């Protein structure tokens, strides 16, 4: 099979979006509009523009509202419902169970113009079980270090640091390394524990990305995304 037809896309859409105020009282965060199009539709359009059509949405908060919108606008989208209080890693586990090939996962509130063919190629070449997409982001604060006597030993004004931007590739074998306690952890605790465990076993690769990326996790980030979206929707 080709990379495109053999790769499953999992979009994590279960969060309650508490930091989005009034926007998420009636709808889940992926349905918030950015440039007159909901975030989730931007993501679906972009994946399909690159030929990736094997999409599954991992639902939680206001699952039926999101499912109804997506089904009305798109064909052949799958849904995995796991309840509002299920942790991120458990959502991934349930959605990918009985699937034996490479998967791309991404958060439902992130947008990036990643070349997924290149991502998959470099992931497979690395022979890792997971690849995290990393991007340089300018830290808004100065970074300080001090010694045991509270004497400042370094100061870095608003440095550029590498961040995980909510996109990753994984092989189903990762779950062979994870205990039920890790898989069943609440919120994002499980995914952090899983990554740390896999890193300790040298099973995680990084994919460097330096293009447009938007995380919409607060009202200020929503405002910023709306100002940038014209640079993204050319691919939709």
**Residue 143: inside a domain:** no
Q: What is the pLDDT of residues 21-44, one digit of tens each?
A: 898 999 999 999 998 899 999 999
pLDDT band per the 50, 70, 90 thresholds, residue 235:
very low
| CB-CB contact of 189 with 115 (8 Å) | no
pLDDT band at 223 (very low <50, low <70, confident <90, very high): very high
Q: Is the pTM of this model over 0.75?
A: yes
Q: What is the structure's pLDDT at 126?
A: 96
Pick from 149, 151, 128: nearest CA to 206: 128
Q: Quote the pLDDT of residue 59.
A: 94
Q: Is residue 139 part of a domain?
A: no
Q: Distance between CA 140 and CA 222 in Å, rounded?
A: 17
Strand duo 213-215 + 110-112: pairing? antiparallel
Residue 157 pLDDT grade (very low, low, confident, very high; cuts 50, 70, 90)? confident
At residue 78 the predicted structure's pLDDT band, cuts being 50, 70 and 90, is very high
133, 119 Cβ separation under 8 angstroms: yes
Q: pLDDT at position 131, please?
A: 97
Host domain of residue 73: 8-134+163-231
Please indicate, yes or no, if residue 221 is contained in any of the structural domains.
yes
Q: pLDDT band for 161, please (50, 70, 90 cuts).
A: confident
| Residue 144 belongs to a domain | no
Q: Residue 93 domain-assigned? A: yes
**String of DSSP letters for 78-102:** EEEE--TT--HHHHHHHHHTT--S-
**What does residue 55 show for φ and ψ, rounded to 5 degrees?**
-105, 135
Tokens for 114? 């990643």
CATH of the domain at 13: 3.90.550.10
The pLDDT value given to residue 233? 66
Looking at residue 31, its pLDDT comes to 95
Domain-located, residue 227: yes
**Portion of the chain with pLDDT greater than 70, in percent:** 97
Best CA proximity match to 212, nearest among 195, 192, 234: 234
Domains contained in the chain, number: 1
Mean pLDDT of the residues in the chain: 90
- Please indicate, yes or no, if residue 172 is contained in any of the structural domains: yes
- Summarize the confidence of residues 6-32 as an average pLDDT: 91
Give residue for tokens 């040298």: 202
State mean pLDDT over 159-171: 90
Residue-level pLDDT at 236: 43
- Does 195 fall in a domain? yes
């Amino acid at each position: 099979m080709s990379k495109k037809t053999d790769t499953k896309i999992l979009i994590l859409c279960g969060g309650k979006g508490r930091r989005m105020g009034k926007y998420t009282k009636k709808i889940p965060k992926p349905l918030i509009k950015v440039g007159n199009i909901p975030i989730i539709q931007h993501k679906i359009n972009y994946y399909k523009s690159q030929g990736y059509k094997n999409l599954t949405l991992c639902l939680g908060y206001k699952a039926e509202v999101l499912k109804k919108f997506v089904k009305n606008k798109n064909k052949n989208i799958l849904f995995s419902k796991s309840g509002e209080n299920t942790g991120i890693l458990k959502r991934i586990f349930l959605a990918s169970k009985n699937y034996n090939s490479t998967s791309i996962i991404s958060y439902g509130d992130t947008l990036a113009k990643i070349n997924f063919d290149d991502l998959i190629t470099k992931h497979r070449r690395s022979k890792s079980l997971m690849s995290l997409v990393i991007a340089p982001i300018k830290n808004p604060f100065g970074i300080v270090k001090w010694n045991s006597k509270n004497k400042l030993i370094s100061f870095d004004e608003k440095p550029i640091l590498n961040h995980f931007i909510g996109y990753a590739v994984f092989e189903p074998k990762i779950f062979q390394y994870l205990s039920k306690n890790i898989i069943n952890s609440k919120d994002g605790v499980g995914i952090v524990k899983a990554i740390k465990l896999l890193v300790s076993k040298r099973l995680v690769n990084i994919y460097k990305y330096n293009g447009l990326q938007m995380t919409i996790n607060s009202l200020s980030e929503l405002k910023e995304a709306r100002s940038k979206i014209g640079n993204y929707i050319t691919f939709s």
